[in-house]
Structure 1
Amino acid sequence: MHRGRPFSGASSAARGTCEAIAAVCDPRAADLTRAGDNDEVTATGLPLDALRPRLPSPLVAIEDARLARHGVRLLLKRDDLIHPDLPGNKWRKLRLNLQAAADAGHDTLLTFGGAYSNHLRATAAAGRLLGFTTIGVVRGDELARRPLNDSLARAAADGMRLAFVDRTTYRRKAEPDVAEELRERFGRCYVVPEGGSNALAAQGCAELGRELRGEADVVAVACGTGGTLAGLAAGLAPGGQRAIGFPVLKGGFLGAAVQRLQEDAFGGRTGDWTLDERFHHGGYARTTPGLDAFAADFAVRHGLVPDRVYVAKMLHGLFTLADEGAFSPGTRLAAVVTG
């Protein structure tokens, strides 16, 4: 189990970007995060196909009287079944980043996340499976003094070195002085942003939208950092499909983040997408009695236990919109189970 010492950031610096961190760890990494949607990234000996991802992921129709009374059908896009260690949007977001890291000659991945980050866990698993050293910068230096939760314990078991940072420094992780300290501490590395969301991630998630062309009228997805929605919307059929993102965090910042990701990945805003910010239930990894009751009932009805951090919030939002009359009779809804 790899536990790092708490990380102390420097005192002040101008606001930077994730590309600033990448440029400090390796100048070539910043350029890779801006690859255009027509730039094909080819792996050099990286055995991604050997991981045997299940693609396209299954699309499963379910019957639910609460939707049927509105004339609405629901399909579950089971991205959680793509790979046992790299499920859902994590596989789609990491795939091109892993290829880019290998092409640039990197053997170390550095990324960021909170205590319950699926992204940290998936990056650690990718490192174990593909031979990368992995470093996870974790929000909350108090966690270094506590037993690891299941998510962090799994990441550590997969070989990830965990570096716990105080929350103020974590918020400043893109500033040049903090990025420089990361370089001094960890050396040359390929940086994957928090949540895995960058231009390459959005391009990888566009395949999700293409898999759903002709299958649904409206596609719903839970949103943390916005990369999945940015790519999903870009991949859907123009003029006939739309995407709804349900942010799992408070703050109202995600619209601008998705816009920036699409600009970096595809040259501008693309696809028909909106956000409904009413269903975060208090913020990231927080829940409410109402959400718990909805998730438990959904599990009984359909045999799928939706996680409270992401999928349950999205499904709750989707069912609420149906009750509000947001979907006309005959609408086919697809809900992405991101895993």
Structure 2
Amino acid sequence: MPIFTAPDFDNHEQVVFCNDAETGLKAIIAIHDTTRGPSLGGCRMWPYASEAAAVTDALRLSRGMTYKSALAGLPLGGGKSVIIGDAKTQKSPALFRAFGRFVDSLGGRYIAAEDVGTGVADIEAMRQVTRHVAGTAGGSGDPSPVTAYGVFQGIRAAAKAKLGRDDLAGLRVAVQGLGHVGLDLARQLYEAGAALIVADIDLDRIARATTAYRAEAMPADRIHAADVDIFAPCALGAILNDATIPEIKAGIIAGAANNQLAEERHGAALMKRGILYAPDYAINAGGIINIHHESAGKYDRAAALRQVEGIYDTLLEIFARAAAEGIPTSDAADRVAETRFGKHRQAA
């Protein structure tokens, strides 16, 4: 497939294809922009249907990380990596060491952390061969609970902007995806008094949520259409598309998934329907904020959580700008982030 003319190529600085015959590693590292600093982003392991799908995911995710770091005010650029494979059956320490050697060859331009399909143990295997990793057992660890905390704060901000209240008691929330982030978000929502509807392809996760958080289960391919106040996508991307948007009943969409809009035009489609959308890279920045506090020196969890709480105010700023300018919230978030790119480049 073409790279430089691919629809999701956005002047990426570097795309690296990684192959190791001995371990079966096939991976892609995409570095989008390092203007603000080294690119930091998760390493995702997923059984992509094709190599083209893996490349597309890497390109889109890495761009999102650039915008996420800028919007969060972090001195970091955007990068992401994907390993093609089934995380349940094809993982091995040797495979992640092989991948770590490719990360190390980039000399710090890309820093890897965990993502969908990878965990702290995998990052530790990579750390045996490279220092360019984050989210290790001795540092900030699993960023998922902090990511979930940031999404929770973002949901509160969206409720404030749309409903005039930031307490969630009695609101109905549909959580799509109960991975590390989604399940912890469900816990926080339950403790805040929200009524939950949940969906996941893993029945064990469904059982945990229905038992612990009194959630109602719903099929994963229909939960977007649930009759709820808030829809929280926490699975894979492109959930907001031509097929799903007309079926959404929620007045607010605010969740942890990356690249929720299948195409940029879908931000306008949501605005046209009167649905308030919390841009994904704004609301799910808690993980990278948490990891940055590890890379900045001695990890201070309290300081990290205080900065994550700022997601509430960042989203209120985005919502206010979108309303004032009559533009989709996704466009407003892009403008805020791109202004910060420009300031940084001028200063450089």
Superposition TM-score, scaled by structure 2 size:
0.37
TM (norm. structure 1) is 0.38
